[in-house]
Amino acid sequence: MKFSYLQSFKSKHYKWLAFLSAALSIFGTAVDRGSSNVIIPEIAEYFRADLPTAQWVLISYLVIVAALVLPLGRLADIIGRKIVIITGLFVFTIGGIVSASAPEIMFLFSGRILQGFGGAMIQGTSMAIAVDAFGRGQRGRSIGLILIFVGMGNIAGPAIGGFITGLFGWRAVFATTSLVTLGAAFLTIAVLKADSDGKEDGNFDWVGAFWFTNFLITLLVGFTMVPTFGWTSLYTWPILGLSILLLISFIRRSIQYDDPVLDVRLFLKPLFTTSIAANFLCFLGMSSMWFLLPFYLKYVMFYTPQQIGMVFMPAAAGMAIAGPIAGRLSDKFGWRPFTIMGLLMATSGLIILSFLDENSPGWLPILGVLPISTGMGSFYGPNNSATLSVTNDKPNGAIIAFINLIRNSGNLMAVPFSTLIVTSVMGAQGHPPNLSAVTQNAAAGLIPSFISGLNTTCLSLTGLVGLGMLLSMYRGKPAIIKD
């Protein structure tokens, strides 16, 4: 009788149970990323590594996620999303345990790479599971609701990272996020149906996946090396050149193969291309500030890790609130007003941050990051709906995985992009072009040059996010949605 009741409850509330399993899964990865940003200085100090080396704790994870999220999303379309996301959750958990117990920094990198594999499986499937649970007619709503958990993860991540590090050390942070994904794994096993998770007939394109994965790895690694070695270094241009050759090979394979990892002909549809480009520019702008602003808060305003986390909490709350509201309304009134307004808010926040200086009041950074994050929450769900509206006859998993790839690429490219601008300004003003020089004991004049670089970065990003807003003005012709 008890088993029968549980089966009845699961059947009646399956939509929300499936959504909850997907949301908790992506929440775990969001907490991990937010907390990792805060603990990087502590990791560098513990292993006596310089800051650029310690940053690979975050970069190595993001590179693997970005490189594998599309192939694994496509694989999930073929073999089933339940098995892929559960495997990803367990792999992520094991990687977290390896990271927490790492005796030296190379072992820590190994753990983070393993978490990257798991994170790619999670991000390549979780949003597709949520969209399928609600149906295509409520895509904006489901994506907006997912943003609540992303926002909560962004809120909890820095706070958890700072709080737990202060009590138990940085290793406990990885152990905590592993517990979240382990709980999500057991929930997913219990509630997710194996026969309604988007499985379809098809052959996985291993050759195309090989070309694409290696293209993205070489591209992202090459760009992350630019701030350190420059564009023309023997370390940089051969890697970037190889990435171009790999991209050409992937495009040729995608055109010739009947069942490719990603149908590149989708880029011939203007709405798809403009939506993807706007998505990338949005995350490039937001993540650049999420990367640079902690330097300002720590070394100019002398904030503790806990105080830095508190600065971002209102912004993450704004994203969590705006996401589901904009997503739900965009299902009724269309995506265009919300994508434009969201990026307009983001540009206003970047303009505010461009006025930061050594004497800025404590409320000014909060006033800047709040519209950036809230605008992103308003933008993301409707933008995804616009992207998916031209692909109704395509498997959702691969396309949603590609959207997540663009998001992760924007997050990752933000680090070298913003670093390059800031350090170029610092170098032009006669100071070491290195963010590692930005400390509480920095030489006279270096902090003002860093702030000048930060202001220049904000203005540059204002232009790029503004371009994304212009791209979002393209109306397009939405496909007819059938549930």
Specify if 416 maps to a domain: yes
Check residue 481 and give its pLDDT. 40
378 or 6, greater pLDDT? 378
Same domain for 218 and 319? no
Check residue 289 and give its pLDDT. 85
Check residue 405 and give its pLDDT. 79
Query: What average pLDDT does the chain have?
Result: 81
Same domain for 388 and 285? yes
Same domain for 309 and 253? no
pLDDT digits (tens, 9 = 90+) for 148-193: 677 667 666 766 777 777 778 888 888 888 898 999 899 888 888 7
Same domain for 256 and 405? no
The Cβ-side half-sphere exposure at 422, using a 13 Å CA radius, reads 28
Contacts of the segment 268-272: beta carbons below 8 A, 24+ positions apart: 269/390, 269/476, 270/474, 270/476, 271/386, 271/387, 271/389, 271/390, 271/474, 271/476, 271/477, 271/478, 272/387, 272/390, 272/391
Specify if 2 maps to a domain: no
Check residue 198 and give its pLDDT. 52
Of 101-110, 226-235, 375-384, minimum mean pLDDT range: 226-235
C-alpha span between 112 and 137 (Å, rounded) = 37
CATH number of the domain residue 447 falls in: 1.20.1250.20
* Structural domain containing residue 159: 11-204+261-471
Same domain for 103 and 43? yes
pLDDT digits (tens, 9 = 90+) for 7-53: 555 566 677 788 888 888 888 888 887 777 778 777 887 888 777 77
Boundary residue ending a domain (226, 243, 260):
260
Same domain for 209 and 177? no
Check residue 156 and give its pLDDT. 66
Distance (Å) of CA 40 to CA 56, 205, 286, 306: 9, 37, 19, 14
Domain count, the chain: 2
Boundary residue ending a domain (242, 260, 278):
260
Same domain for 256 and 157? no
Same domain for 237 and 277? no
Specify if 3 maps to a domain: no
Specify if 316 maps to a domain: yes
- Within its chain, how far is the Cα of 167 from the centroid? 28
pTM above 0.85, yes or no: no
Check residue 135 and give its pLDDT. 65
Same domain for 273 and 165? yes
pLDDT digits (tens, 9 = 90+) for 182-228: 998 998 888 887 654 555 556 777 888 888 888 888 887 787 777 66
Specify if 153 maps to a domain: yes
Q: Are 272 and 402 in contact (CB under 8 A)?
A: no
Specify if 34 maps to a domain: yes
Rounded mean pLDDT, 259-263: 76
Specify if 480 maps to a domain: no
Confidence band for 111, pLDDT divided at 50, 70 and 90: very high
pLDDT digits (tens, 9 = 90+) for 53-95: 777 888 888 888 878 887 888 788 778 888 889 999 999 999 9
pLDDT digits (tens, 9 = 90+) for 438-483: 877 777 788 899 999 999 999 999 999 999 999 988 866 544 444 4
Boundary residue ending a domain (260, 278, 293):
260
Specify if 483 maps to a domain: no
pLDDT digits (tens, 9 = 90+) for 292-350: 888 888 888 888 767 877 787 787 778 778 877 887 787 778 778 888 999 999 999 99
Same domain for 159 and 305? yes
Same domain for 247 and 167? no
Rounded mean pLDDT, 247-276: 84
Check residue 343 and give its pLDDT. 92
Same domain for 452 and 418? yes
